Structure 1
Amino acid sequence: MSTSMGIDLVSGSIDASLAELDNRSRSPSRPSAGEIVVGPFSVLDFTAFTQPQESAGMGLREIPPVATPASAVAIAPPLTAPILASDVSPLSPGPFVIDSLAHMDDFLHWSDLLGITPDQPGFSSSLDGADIFDFHPTPQISALDSRLLGMDQESGAALAEEGEPGQTGQIPTPQQTPMKEPSASLDLLTDAPFLFKHFQDHVIPSMMAMPLGEKSPWKILNLSAAVVTYSDITFLGTRNPTHARLANLYGLLACAAIHLTLKPPNHMVHTAKDWSQIAAQTYQHAKDHMQTSLQLETATPKKAKYKDQLMAICGLIQFAVISGQQQHARCFMVDAERLLRLRGLPKRRISQKARLLHHVYTWLRIVGESTYVLHDYTPSTMFLEALDNQFRTPPGAVDLEATNDGNSRLDDFLRLDARHSDRDLNIDEPKDLEVGLHDIHLQDSRVFSETLYKQIYGIPETWLSLVSQTTRLANVMETFRTARSLGDGVSLEAWEALQRRSVRLENMICSFDLNRTQGPQPEPHDTSSKPHRHMLRALDASLMIFFYRRIRQVHPAILGGYVDNVISALHQFHAALPQDSYGGPGSAWPAFVAGCEATTSARREGILKCLEKAEMIRSFASFATAKNIMNELWRMQDEHLVRNRGDAFPTWIDVLKAGQSWPLLC
């Protein structure tokens, strides 16, 4: 049958044979009667489309053009190439289509198809010619699609009108696939590819405490999930993403857009105002989807993945940090804390991805809490009972925090771990796996071998745990002072217990700093670690300052040496950075903590230069906020030295309480 078919048709390519069929069917000399068949068994039977006519030549019974001739089959472009309007063949017949077929290259010959035998590898009896020749591409191009493809909306609309929906083999488009996102939301995704790239290349390195060159959780988890969600709701249209994944997508885009608002590139068409509008709209979408997810997707039947919800909340916290929206950051942190206790910590097995997200949350929470002094320090009944028991759990009592009680004050960060000793401060002892995986506030400062903070942030977990311990103890002591001033009958034993713990914590912080400075140093030729070493020096010195400010409340003149160490380390850090580096310092924390204790003009100028260098590269709102707070504090301190030398020296805590401000330095 294949041989007979080949004899009846012209030699050459399939395109040439089809062209001859079309040309001869239009010839005035073609026969007017008889069946028009080609090959044995009437394989190609066109009788239904024509009048019975007499055939001539090679016995080929020709046909006139039909509504959609076989010769008008479009050749699909490669999947890697963009589908442009010029790549789509017209669906209506015309002379230019038929004439052009005669000049096509002979890539595919009849022997390629008709020489196939059923026993050949890869041959499928389900392959039917009708499946090939009935294929009609009918692109439906929206305004978003046309922008992505480089066309204007009118061209896209005209091309869409040419299509005939419902044809066999029609390619589904995003508009034909059920989606939750309306077209107005899709328009926000026009700049998504560029924002993805900017988030990866500029925003992620800027969020890191120091340049590491390692893959960040933001790239491994948030960015990867956002790209998949973007493809799902645009060109793939494969499924409806959850609200949690949509919140992560829009939150990530908002982070990139707000970063461009603070420092737009010179080569971009969009202005800072344009990026500001995009950031506001995507942020609003992220908040709406996050709220819906927490309400509807936390439990069955529409349960979202835990890691999708947590990464979305962390993304919203990060947006609040970049843009300096303190009230929103507080709400997101409380939501994240509640989600961790409800869905994350009760799990039997905490996956590696979940652990990465827990590390991100812990960094944001602990560093953020260290500068949050807007608590209501009025002592509660629970606090007074804890004072009476010297912060030890009485026999038979229940630890509210351990039971994940819904009434526990998630936003206060005031609790001290109820233990019969201060063993949790032994930073050289190991911490077991169960405690380490669930210690999201790093209440236990012992060493945890499975920690990932060095890989993610380049800092030891011990440093972060000591910041947490200092913040907790400072909040408890502040509440104790308030209780004493209110005459609530606090005992001397309770105060002595707090003093013993503060002395032990001081010893841990000082020994940690001494061990770092006197330990083995890297080789002199190891230049790759220089920025890292300098930043660790700055963090250690600023931790000392932080302890003596929050716990001991000493005069700034006593801390001058530590301030000098921070200034020197930060300047050396910036000097050691490569010129094209975007990594670190993602936090203004060490500069802020040290700058608020700078009482001389030389120290103040040195800190301001460090902040300005960092701000030029990172462009986070936290750097400008830190400068504003320090300038206001320095003004108050200078006035104090002139008028009220006998009173308490103003500190950054006083400025923040007076202005109800929370500098987000995480």
Structure 2
Amino acid sequence: MTTGLSRVELGSHTRSFTGCATCRSRHVKCDEGRPTCSMCSYFGLECAGYKKDLFFDSKNPNSRIRFRRPLLTEEERIRMSQWLITSAPPKSTQRLLSQIDEQCENVAASDEVELTYGPFGVFRAPLSRNVQVTTPSNCDRTSPVEEIDDATDTSPQTDIVPLIDPFPTVSGLSQWSPDFMQSLLSQPDGDISSASPDLLDLIMDQVPFDDTTLAPPDCQLTSTSIISDPYCNRPISPPSLTPAPGGTRALPQDAVFLLKHYSSTVISLMTPVRHKKTPWHVLFIPHAKDCLAALAMGEELNHANLCAFYGTLATSAFSLGGVSRSQTWLDQGHLYLRQAQEHAKTMLMTAYNIPKPAKYKSILMAILTMVQLANFCGNRNDAEDFFLEAEKFIRMKGLKRRKSRKVRLLHHCYVFERMFHESIFIGGANSNQRRHIRRAIESSGLAPASVDSLSFRLYKWKNLHQEMLRVRDREEGENDLHLERPGMFSATLYPEIFGIPEPWLILLSMIIRLGTEKDAAEEQNNQPSLNLKDFISRSKALEDYINHLERPNQINFGLGIHQSSVDQHILENMLEAMRQALAIYFYRRIYDLDASMLQKKVVDVRDCLLRCEYADSSVVHGSAGFIWPAFIAACEAEDSKVQESFSSWFQMSAQRSGLSCFAQTQASIEKIWKEKRDGNGSSVTWVDLMKKSVSLQQLAQ
């Protein structure tokens, strides 16, 4: 009895890349005969010829291969070969190389020089703007014997201009080396995140990055005085754009520098965890690098990819502009912002077309990048618009599909940011834009795919403690988009991404929904709302659960294997600040409790911030887990010293992150403090100001 092995069991077959186009399309073996192969002749088919594709093979035999279009056509390659032969006749090649060696030996090590002999060149990187190009007068001469032997060598040997420059110069940095570009482009199926060695390390090797890099030229800075020097306000030389070879799109020459700043600094502002499995490490950064590689190769990208790419550059440029106080970087950030907005506009116009114009992950990453950019710039109205677009896109395109881990990571990023946005953006529940989005989802027939309702209304639970212990299945856990139903979901990713348990976000969602019920009852807008008895019973149950909330054990929480002792200390304080802020938010939003009764919790949040400051001041400032508790607690602070502590925290966060959202948040908090001092009393809250601002926006519309 024999046992046969399937094709899959034997391993993937070896593909041929050199056969004629006809045989490759028919998936048959080609003998690669010229001018036509025998297989096409045998079957009487027209041989479509041979197409030379440039492809990069991975060392990993199990990985897929990334294809690229050829840099040069076959005719161009023939002409280039002929040009190289005429530029360096065989008998003069050795002499030209010897002359290069002799010239290099006579140049001091501190000099910057570029030598060109025939097609051969040598240079020291980085090159200054005024590089001396040396071409001796005798380099285009040959001996009489060589002139006889190389009669075809009639072209003078002058400075050689390359046919193609696939490695553009980064402004203020060294040139991209061929090894760097090869590593950038040789990843399987465009998945640059799987590069070995890691592509980020290659970028670090290519781009010098220190404190002085952030400052304008000729400005002397020490490693500890990057902010304090008041004379470092001269503009940086504006970054330039270089057309990509063979393409029409411009390649930002500061892209490598900005991506490195984004990966080393900006990411730490969005999550307090430091492992390499966050959505930014496995999705956003690789996606941006992939776009950079495609632009470097002259490929045409869709609007979703370009939106995410330029949005990432804009975020990084704004951060650099704030850190270095350089108007040039801020201007560059606005330039990239406009480009990202234009691509986002075009992308959203075609996002729901069939066939789809781009992958689901690409479009959602682009929208979330714009959400992130709007939040960091402090533009809450733009953030609101992109949040609604993300909700519409997820409900119409993402909930019915089977979700991979990467898709679930993106969904978690959206929900996490949306919860904090919704907790502060009060009064806009019935805006025209929200009603339009709701009608679009309902008219699409895809609303039943959502486990939660399309509006932030309270789920009709009875016993909260029992409901929170209920185990949710996969469908409910993944499709309850805005965490409407309480319960436990084992496959949640919030602890892994943000270090916060999902039940805590569910509590925040329930406070938001209970506040919506309260607003509906106060406005008497004929919308169904809870009666007084149900409202009080649910409020009491929610209050009791929040006050008995316990911090999770870090080892059982799933982060102990990734975090150092310092990181665990930071996460513990972040969770404590979050717990206290949840209580403050509940009492002010639901009960409108007098702020004087909340000062103990306010001080506890302040102390958590200070303890993290002492533990590690380089990472926690501005992370999503801290800015929300800091804002909620600071708004209720009454003691002048406590207020000063919060102001100092926001100022340091703004300086170290370079992002304007912290200064704008601090300005809003100080406005509340001022109104309290002016006699309006403790009844003035951020809730009142937000409702007032939303009402003014609705009147303006």
State whether TM-score is above 0.5: yes
Name the CA distance, whole Å, in 1 between partners of 2:639 and 2:668: 17
Contact 1:378 1:479 in 2 (8 A): no
In 2, Cα distance between the equivalents of 1:427 and 1:610? 35
State the partner residue of 1:616. 655
Identity of aligned residues (%): 27
Opposite residue 246 of structure 1, the aligned amino acid is: L
Q: Give 1:5's aligned residue.
A: none
Does residue 1:244 correspond to 2:274, yes or no? Answer: no
| Cα distance per residue 1:270-316 (max 9 Å; x no partner) | x6211111111111111111222222253333520000011111111
- Residue 606 of structure 1 is matched in structure 2 by 645
Distance 1:144 1:572, change over 3 A: same
Aligned residue identity for 2:690: L
Deviates more, 1:280-289 or 1:136-145: 136-145
In structure 2, relative to structure 1, the CA distance for the partners of 1:496 and 1:403 (3 Å cut) is farther
Q: Partners of 2:405 and 2:382 in 1: how far apart?
A: 28
Q: Which residue of 2 aligns with 1:301?
A: 355
Task: Give 1:212 shift.
Answer: 3.4
For 1:495 and 1:323, the matched residues in 2 are separated by 41
Contact in 1 for aligned 2:415/2:482 (Cα 8 Å): yes
- TM-score relative to the length of structure 2: 0.62
1:469 aligns with 2:510: yes
**Equivalent residue number for residue 267 of structure 1:** none
Q: List aligned pairs for 1:516-555, cutoff 5 A.
A: 526-555=565-594
3-state SS of paired residue (2:352): coil
Structure 2: state its 5+ residue gaps. 1-84, 98-113, 122-134, 146-159, 176-241, 436-440, 697-701
Q: Give the letter for the 1:594 counterpart.
A: A
2:423 corresponds, among 352, 358, 370, to 370
Q: Is the 8 A contact 2:311 2:340 kept in 1?
A: yes
Distance in 1, matches of 2:253 and 2:661, equals 29
SS of corresponding position for 2:549:
helix
Q: Which runs of 5+ in 1 are unaligned?
A: 1-64, 77-83, 103-135, 152-172, 265-270, 383-398
Q: Using the TM superposition, give the Cα deviation of residue 500 of structure 1 relative to its aligned residue in structure 2, in angstroms.
A: 2.4
Partner of 1:565: 604
2 CA distance for matches of 1:224 and 1:71? 48
Distance 1:206 1:67 in 2: 54
Give secondary structure in 2 for the equivalent of 1:427: helix
Counterpart for residue 229 of structure 2: none
Does 1:585 pair with 2:623?
Answer: yes
Corresponding letter in the other structure for 1:508: Y
Which residue, 154, 157, 163 being the options, matches 1:139?
A: 163
- C-alpha distance in structure 2 between counterparts of 1:67 and 1:378, whole Å: 70
Aligned to 2:371, what secondary structure does the other structure show?
A: helix
Q: 1:319 to 1:464 in 2, by over 3 A?
A: same
Counterpart amino acid of 1:575?
Y
Distance 1:594 1:412, change over 3 A: farther
Matched, 1:458 2:499: yes
- The CA distance in 1 between the partners of 2:420 and 2:509, in whole Å, is 8
Alignment of 1:399-548 (within 5 A): 404-405=446-447, 413-417=455-459, 419=460, 421=462, 426-483=467-524, 488=526, 494-513=531-550, 526-548=565-587
The residue identity in structure 1 corresponding to 2:688 is D
1:48 maps to what in 2? none
SS at match of 1:588: helix
Is the CA contact (8 Å cut-off) linking 1:206 and 1:585 kept in structure 2?
Answer: yes
For residues 446 and 318 of structure 1, the distance between their equivalents in structure 2, rounded to whole angstroms, comes to 29
Query: Secondary structure at 1:370's aligned position in 2?
Result: helix
Bigger relative contact order, structure 1 or 2 (CA pairs below 8 A, ≥6 apart): 1
Paired with 1:206 and 1:661, the residues of 2 have a C-alpha distance of 32
Q: Distance in 2 between matches of 1:583 and 1:650?
A: 27
Q: Is the 8 A contact 1:203 1:256 kept in 2?
A: yes
Deviation at 1:421, TM superposition (A): 4.4
Say whether the 8 Å CA contact 1:424–1:443 is kept in structure 2.
Answer: no
Paired letter, 1:639: D
Paired residue for 1:311?
365
| Alignment partner, residue 25 of structure 2 | none
Superposition deviation, residue 143 in structure 1: 11
Task: Tell me if the contact between 1:582 and 1:618 (Cα under 8 Å) persists in the aligned partners.
Answer: no
Q: Give 2:413's aligned residue.
A: 360
1:129-158 Cα offsets, whole Å, 9 max, x none, are xxxxxxx9952349955969969xxxxxxx
Contact between 2:171 and 2:254, CA under 8 Å: does it hold in 1? no
Distance in 1 between the 2:378 and 2:304 partners?
23
Counterpart Cα distance in 2 of 1:490 and 1:357: 33
**Residues 430 and 448 of structure 1 are in contact (CA less than 8 Å); yes or no, is this contact kept in structure 2?**
yes
Q: Which amino acid aligns with 2:457?
A: R
Deviations 1:560-609 (A, max 9, x none): 221121112221121111x5446653442111111111222233233223
The answer on whether the counterparts of 1:253 and 1:282 sit within 8 Å (CA) in structure 2 is yes
Asked if structure 1 preserves the Cα contact closer than 8 Å seen for 2:322 and 2:657, the reply is no
Contact 1:611 1:623 in 2 (8 A): yes
How large is the RMSD of aligned CA atoms in angstroms? 4.4
User: 1:321-343 deviations in whole A, cap 9, x for unaligned?
Assistant: 11111221111111111110111
Residue type at the aligned position of 1:652: W
Q: 1:277 aligns with which of 331, 337, 358?
A: 331
The 1:634/1:240 distance shift into structure 2, 3 A limit, reads: same
**Counterpart residue type for residue 139 of structure 2:** F
Verify the 8 A CA contact 2:551 2:575 in the aligned structure 1.
no
Aligned partner of residue 531 in structure 2, secondary structure: helix
- Of the structure 1 ranges 427-436 and 548-557, higher mean CA displacement relative to structure 2 is found in 427-436
Helix, strand or coil: the match of 2:424? coil
Offset of residue 527 of structure 1: 4.4
CA distance in 1 between counterparts of 2:393 and 2:605 reads: 37
Alignment of 1:118-267 (within 5 A): 138-141=162-165, 177=246, 179=247, 181-182=248-249, 185-186=250-251, 189-208=252-271, 210-234=272-296, 236-237=297-298, 239-264=299-324
Equivalent position to 2:139, from 89, 93, 96: 96
- Residue 197 of structure 1: how far off its partner (Å): 0.5
Q: Check whether the contact 2:499–2:571 (CA below 8 A) recurs between aligned residues.
A: yes
Q: Give, in angstroms, the shift of residue 490 of structure 1.
A: 7.0
Aligned counterpart in structure 2 of residue 628 of structure 1, from 663, 667, 676? 667
